[in-house]
Structure 1
């Protein structure tokens, strides 16, 4: 497996995760799966919580607004706030 990058890389990593899972376990899993620093940093910035399913993680992880297809719910909200 190569280096995992962006939202698609995070989705691939989450496919192998047994839920529920803590943020710290997600970080360890991402590192073991070869995630790039961007994914690891985004996971570290997510709330320290227990996640019950992949979509919870995807909503919580602050991926960069500039990456096509990487817009999380929180990123879209920030973008809306900037426009108003």
Structure 2
């Protein structure tokens, strides 16, 4: 069972998590929730810090609908389409 993609999926992953938490704890929570590679990659790209609330994480992750130039590699591959 996976979660939605993008920011909506990330919000669902973050719902109910206890804060503060580190980047690595956020990545582990996403993996446990069945998040897709885009969300996991975006979380791994965040600065290694302690986050005190979900909105700090939402502001720190490079997801396509927020910053088109900062897509994860998997998102860029989908945009390019089949070779």
Tell me the TM-score normalized by structure 1.
0.75
Hey, what does 1:61 align to over in structure 2? Answer: 61
Q: Residues 7 and 63 of structure 1 are in contact (CA less than 8 Å); yes or no, is this contact kept in structure 2? A: yes
SS at match of 2:27: helix
| Aligned equivalents of 1:12, 1:3: Cα separation in 2 | 7
User: What runs of 5+ residues in structure 2 fail to find an aligned partner?
Assistant: 71-83
Trace 1:20-35 onto structure 2 (pairs within 5 A): 20-35=20-35
TM-score under structure 2 length normalisation: 0.76
Aligned length: 69
The answer for unaligned runs of 5 or more in structure 1 is 65-69, 79-84
Runs of 4+ with deviation above 6 angstroms: none
C-alpha root-mean-square deviation of aligned residues, in Å?
1.7
